[in-house]
Amino acid sequence: MKIFDVHVHVQPWTMVNADALAMIAEDPAHANAKDILSSPDHLLRYLDENGVEKICCINYVSPDVMGFTREVNDWIANFTRDHRDRLVPVGSVNPLHEMDVRAEINRVLDLGIGMIKIHPPHQLFAPNAYRGELWQLAEVYRECEVRGVPVMFHTGTSVFPRARNVFADPMPVDDVAIDFPKLKIILAHAGRPLYGETSLFLTRRHANVYIDLSGIPPKSLPKYFPRLAQVADKVLWGTDWPSMGVVSLRKNIDELRSLNLGEEIEQKVFWDNAAKLF
């Protein structure tokens, strides 16, 4: 069975703020991540060892919380350039740090970026902020809708210093789904740990809203997302590696299979749904 992991952090770690990097480095699971992520060849070898065919390489612009600047878009475009069949470059436009959002989203997508990531607690704005003063945010959604490029929203809390968890609730994505009905929307982390029911509601309400399971230990899915089987057509596999607590891609894959959801559901979650969406 092919595996498509839609949530792997392949980022320029030299950009990460010292306090955020210190939190990441405390996790023993990250001992070998730096070498694996040092080159596309090393990363592809790791994917082969873990039985993973394709991944989305997550990046987003968050100078205030994480340290990532708009240069992450060019970095990931270059990193994935020769391997787009397996490595989907993910980028971002932060309207709080751009004078001309329309020009920047077009520039970013012209690099070949295959998905845009919005991280409200780390980028410090709500997904529906375009309905107020941050009106330029709508340019991001509009251009992605036209081009058929998915937009992934971080949902749920963050423990990183300076993260603003007032933006953790996914309910503002309801506005985005209404105003941009053809935009492909992914709710990363299924709202964990506080907003699982909200994420499920949005997924069931809107035809254009999907969920990824990244950041949730698979053995905890019955607790955080007990109705997975009911929306199996709209659930995407993701690990969040190498985030805290995620030991390896293979370990998470094996733990999901241990839930005995059945081959039909596993096929949809591990590959079919993401393959259709991308």
Mean of pLDDT values over 211-226: 95
* CB neighbour burial string for 88-113, b if at least 16 within 10 angstroms, e if fewer: bbbbbbbbbebeebeebbebbbebeb
Average pLDDT over residues 143-167: 98
Domain of 239, CATH number, reads: 3.20.20.140
Dihedral (Cα; 97, 194, 173, 160), 10-degree rounding: 10
In the numeric block, the tokens 């941050």 are attached to 134
pLDDT band at 21 (very low <50, low <70, confident <90, very high): confident
Residue 45, pLDDT above cutoff 80: yes
Q: How much is the average pLDDT of 226-238?
A: 97
**Domain around 146:** 4-277
| Residue 15 reports pLDDT greater than 90 | yes
pLDDT at residue 59, as a whole number: 98
Instruction: Please check whether residue 212 is in contact with residue 187, taking contact to mean a CB–CB distance below 8 angstroms.
Output: yes
Residue 211 has pLDDT above 90, yes or no: yes
Tokens of 124: 């410090």
Domain total in the chain: 1
- pLDDT, tens digit (0-9, with 9 covering 90-100), for 55-114: 999 999 999 999 999 999 999 999 999 999 999 999 999 999 999 999 999 999 999 999
Kindly tell me if the per-residue pLDDT of 28 is higher than 90: no
pLDDT beyond 90 at 22: no
pLDDT at 31 over 80: no
Beta-carbon neighbour count of residue 147 at 10 Å?
A: 11
Q: Is the pLDDT of residue 188 over 90?
A: yes
The per-residue pLDDT for 208 is 98
Which pLDDT does position 52 carry in this prediction? 98
How far, in Å, CA of 146 to CA of 75, rounded?
24
pLDDT for the residue 225 = 92
Instruction: Walk across the sheet containing 185-188 and list its strands.
Output: 4-8, 54-57, 87-91, 115-118, 151-154, 185-188, 209-212, 235-236
Cα–Cα dist 249/31, whole Å: 15
pLDDT of residue 245: 85
pLDDT of residue 26: 78
Measure CA 73 to chain center. Answer: 15
* Mean pLDDT of all residues belonging to the chain: 96
pLDDT digits (tens, 9 = 90+) for 156-165: 999 999 999 9
